[in-house]
A and B are shown apart, each in its own frame.
Chain A
Amino acid sequence: MKKLTAVICTAMMALSLTACGGNTKEVSVNPEKLAEELLTTVTSDELTKSSMDLSTVYFYDANNVNSAVAYASSGTTSCEVAVVESKDASETTAVEKNFKTRVENQKNLYASYNAQEAGRLDDAIIKSAGKYTVLCVCDDTDKANEILKENGF
């Protein structure tokens, strides 16, 4: 009985070590493809792929980023989709912070300009997995979350 208990305890220890995951799990996505998939969740506007240096829009440190892609509105709505691939998973926290600041700023501006858009920003999705961070302000957040889940988020 005692031996059985010892064996069970040892097995639990071994299994608990294999359960470690979250941001350190291996996630590999194509940012362009993921952004295009997330675009399908925006139905009230036509977003355009940004041609600007995105570090000037989101203020992340470009030295810590491999690639970034974003789609934004021509002004009709607050919808936007952005995917940033950091050089290391440890940098995603900073990128998330940048996205949160972006969303807060937009929300404050839209609050007195267009209440519906300010409400949309309340539902903004900001997620990280592996080296990737996503910002999605869209019409169908359920679909967006499904897409992200399928991609390892």
Chain B
Amino acid sequence: MAKSKGKRKRRNDSLVLQLMVLVAIVLVVFEGKLVVTMVTHSTSTKKTESSGSGEEKEIAGSSKTETQQDAEAGNLASIQDGARGQSVLAGLPIGKGTVSQQSETDASYPTVSNPDSTAIVKEADTPVDDSYFSDAVFIGDSRMQGFQNASGITQGTFFTSVGMSLATMQSEAVIPTSEGNVTVAAALSGGHYGKVYIMLGTNDLGEYDWDSFKEGFISCVKRFQEIQPDAIFYICSVFYVEESKITSGSSYVTNANVDKINSILLDICESEGYHYLNLNEILSNGYGSLIEGASSDGVHVYEKYCKQMLTYLKSHYVIADDASDNSGKEEQETEPETEAKKEETK
């Protein structure tokens, strides 16, 4: 009797033990990942690089105090140009209310050094639509990136980078692609484009060796031309800044320097056969400065003005035969599909 009781007891103990082992196995199999995550995911407020796997991945930061919108205008930091060791920048105070060169009562401040230049793209009779940009590539700095984000453009390829300067455009791998970051030239090599738009110079306003800038710009764009020999090259002017909103950085970002760099860009277009897009036609306040209120930080314009830039590009274009007249290249005549043509076919 005692023996059978003992046997029963041992059997029951073994059954309980087996059940507990089974529970443990089930927990490890179904909840093991969660347990590992709980152990390895030390804080929920780490940086963006995740360290472990888990069913819910979270990369969040600590809370920040809100910044006033006007304060943003004062937070542009100097850019250190590694190649030249200078501070270059995209926003700066020159002194409130200062207007470079012209009288405030003179509202006909010229926005180009040579208004009669044949390199300046004139307004076309009929604007094109977005399809014109389907084979276009847009290269440039944060202002070009802002145009991409806020203009409403639906076509085109963008190779842009915050802080892009001539040095960056020439040789730094700053253009993201699906295969990683590459240089502008490498990115250009990946496609065939009919139009190349370049918006550059705001981050080079501290470049006092203007001859060197001119030489470097020509050399760089020639290289792009070799990669894209069939493309029409448009060089966008550097548009003005709103000096009263620029409160930090070096003393280089002035509308006087904007005028200087634009005169160089126009010279380049005249000598090399590129087409100059004078964006200050629509963004100038008439006194050699950016329209008041067009920007929160004095440099990057609001959505409304990005849309105006797109409208400007649609009404300022060249057709291939005009492009070849300017550049000396022979191309077949092709007309962009204008909105008027679309109406005719309806």
Contacts and interface: CB of A to CB of B under 8 A. Distances in A.
A91 interface: no
Nearest to B305: A74
A78 B20 CA distance: 54
A56 B157 contact: yes
Contact of A45 (B20, B34, B152, B296): B296
B77 A74 contact: no
A54 B235 CA distance: 26
Contacts of A102: 176
Contact of A74 (B64, B150, B158, B177): B150
A63 interface: no
Contact of B145 (A43, A59, A75, A116): A75
Contact of A141 (B63, B162, B174, B177): B63
A9 interface: yes
Interface string B149-178: 110111001100111000000000010111
A96 interface: yes
- Please tell me the size bucket of the interface on A: 35 or more
Given A51-B154, A122-B47, A17 B303 contact: no
Given A128-B57, A140-B63, A12 B47 contact: no
Given A76-B300, A77-B72, A22 B146 contact: no
B92 to A, nearest CB: 13
Given A75-B145, A102-B176, A139-B66, A5 B16 contact: yes
Interface in A103-139: 103-106, 109-110, 112-116, 120-129, 139
Interface string B296-336: 11011111001000000000000000000000000000000
Interface in A69-108: 72-78, 96, 100-106
Interface string B96-138: 0000000000000000000000000000000000000000000
A52 B174 CA distance: 20
A125 B48 CA distance: 7
Interface stretch (B25-33, B223-231, B251-259): B25-33
B55 interface: yes
Given A22-B56, A122-B48, A74 B62 contact: no
Contacts of B54: 22
A95 to B, nearest CB: 11
B196 to A, nearest CB: 17
A38 to B, nearest CB: 13
Contacts of A73: 146, 149-150, 300
Contacts of A104: 48
A13 B62 contact: no
A6 to B, nearest CB: 5
Nearest to B55: A22
B176 A125 contact: no
A52 B27 contact: no
A142 interface: yes
11 contacts: A9-B23, A16-B23, A16-B27, A45-B69, A51-B154, A78-B162, A116-B75, A123-B64, A125-B60, A126-B59, A140-B63
Closest 9 CB pairs of A and B: A22-B55, A123-B61, A75-B146, A75-B300, A113-B163, A74-B146, A72-B149, A74-B150, A48-B150
Given A6-B16, A75-B142, A127-B59, 8 more contacts: A9-B16, A17-B30, A19-B30, A45-B69, A51-B154, A75-B143, A76-B295, A109-B162
